[in-house]
Amino acid sequence: MVRPPAVAPDEAPDDTRLARYRRIAIGVLILVALGSLAIGAPGNHTIPAGERWFLLVGSIVFVAITYVFGLLPAAPTLRPAPWAGITAILVLALALFIVGGINWLAVIAIGAGVCGRFGRNPWPALVSSAVCAVTGSVVATTSHAGYGGTFAAIVIGPMAAFFGYSSGRRADMVSVLRRTRADLARTAVAEERLRIARDMHDLLGHSLSLITLKAELAGKVIGTDPDRAAGEIAELESVARKSLSDVRAAVAGYRQPDLAGELISARQLLDSAGIASRITAPDTAALPQEVDAALAWAVREGTTNVVRHSRATRVAILVSTGPSTAVAEITDNGPPAPDDAGPLARGPQALDDAGHDDTAGPSRPRPGGSGLAGLAERVQGLGGELVAGTIAPHGFRLRVVVPLGPKV
């Protein structure tokens, strides 16, 4: 049994890592942009000493609260907006710009961008744009910045606010899509569980009820009518054997899957998991039933392993037929597991010799997994071959070759 992933279904490990690196990179850029100005402020004797130290200390506080409140990992509108922090960022940005002058344009760009990013509607972006534009025009005029400096001071705040607003809406949409994808995957799992429960109920419900009744009847009459009890026990044995045969037939795949249906289900499952897929298959109506079922099991097992273990972003499913064989091949671009390096495992012997570590957490399935072992038995029973393993430079391939004719 493979352990479930340790992260939320709508937040992949790679996405979490990239979001953290992105926040760190933006924080470093803000620190560099304001740090050069703040470090030089105490030595700039053209402005009063109090203002110089205000610029230094204010810049440090501005960078700190911007990183804490302005670079949140979640989508902006899917959580309560930190309005106190946002207001403090915008007010402090305007104060630093007014004290520092036209050279501190970057600070109002950052403040306006943060305010726009966390608005649930365009109004915060509009208000911050207007405030920054007015402040920029006043500061540029009093500083005699010239046409270019005045234009930049007026425009940079609104531009940053609406860039921030667009960024927030995009992050919001991505988060909603991830949650929707996770909900669809959970729904698919729930529907599959219901289907299995329904099949097992249909298969065993009547038989087990009959076994229970006959066992109770045999127990009641065994002391008074041994012959009748013996007959009931014989019938009980017959029913139990038939039930066992039904279970074995179901587990062995007597209710065979359909290749065309499995290809459709594979595309739906991969789409729900957010994995790009390319499925190529000819008309499979002419395939023998046992070959069609074997390839269908291969597609189901390969697709399930990709979704559950691979962390892949692309999958290719290729079904082809030749004069004497039919082939199903499932290839993904997922990273290899630490213990899944080496050549491809070929044939049932390689599958039986490999183990599976239940304590290793989510990883690529080794060729020894029970699903692949069961698939190998089905393919071997038809005289075919199963090849499963990593491929260079990265990825995993499951290839099943089944003869179209009878087993030799």
Task: Give the model confidence (pLDDT) of 84-121 as tens digits.
Answer: 777 888 888 899 888 888 888 888 888 888 888 876 67
pTM of the model: 0.47
Q: Mean pLDDT lowest for which of 69-73, 91-95, 265-269, 314-318?
A: 69-73
Instruction: Give the pLDDT score at 341.
Output: 40
- What pLDDT score does 385 carry? 93
**Residue 206 pLDDT class (50, 70, 90 cuts):** low
- Given a cut of 70, whether residue 348 has pLDDT beyond it is no
**75 with 172: CB under 8 angstroms?**
yes
Query: Where do we find the tokens 């597991």?
Result: 337
Class of domain 259-403: alpha beta
Most confident of 10-24, 36-50, 145-159: 145-159
Report pLDDT for 183: 87
Q: Determine the pLDDT at residue 75.
A: 54
**Tens-digit pLDDT profile for residues 134-179:** 998 988 888 888 888 888 889 988 898 888 888 888 878 887 888 8
**237-265 pLDDT per residue, tens:** 887 888 887 777 666 655 567 888 889 88
- The span from the first CA to the last CA of the chain, in angstroms, equals 35
pLDDT, mean of residues 292-306: 88
Domain ranges of the chain: 13-180, 192-251, 259-403
Mean pLDDT of 186-196: 81
The predicted model gives 181-188 an average pLDDT of 85
Helix (H, G, I), strand (E, B) or coil at 398: strand
Confidence band for 397, pLDDT divided at 50, 70 and 90 = very high
Residue pLDDT, tens place only, 354-393: 333 333 333 444 444 457 887 888 888 889 999 998 888 8
According to the model, what pLDDT value does residue 359 have?
Answer: 33
Decide if 389 contacts 342 (C-beta within 8 A). yes
Q: Give residue 318's pLDDT.
A: 93
* pLDDT number for residue 4: 39
How large is the average pLDDT for residues 172-195? 83
Mean pLDDT of the chain: 76
Q: Which of 75-89, 146-160, 312-326 has the lowest mean pLDDT?
A: 75-89
pLDDT band at 1 (very low <50, low <70, confident <90, very high): very low
Residue 303: pLDDT band (50, 70, 90) is: confident
**Domain 192-251 bears CATH identifier 3.40.1360:** no
Share of the chain above pLDDT 70, in %: 77
Comparing 47 with 387, the larger pLDDT belongs to 387
Same fold, 192-251 and 259-403: no
277 vs 269, residue with greater confidence:
277
What pLDDT is attached to residue 365?
45
Residues pairing with 401 in the sheet: 327, 385
Identify the CA nearest to 216 among candidates 231, 203, 233. Answer: 233
Backbone angles phi, psi at 280, to 5 degrees: -125, 120
* pLDDT for the residue 394: 82
214 vs 92: which has the higher pLDDT = 92
Q: Does 282 score more than 60 pLDDT?
A: yes
Summarize pLDDT for 216-228 with one digit per residue, the tens.
888 888 888 888 8
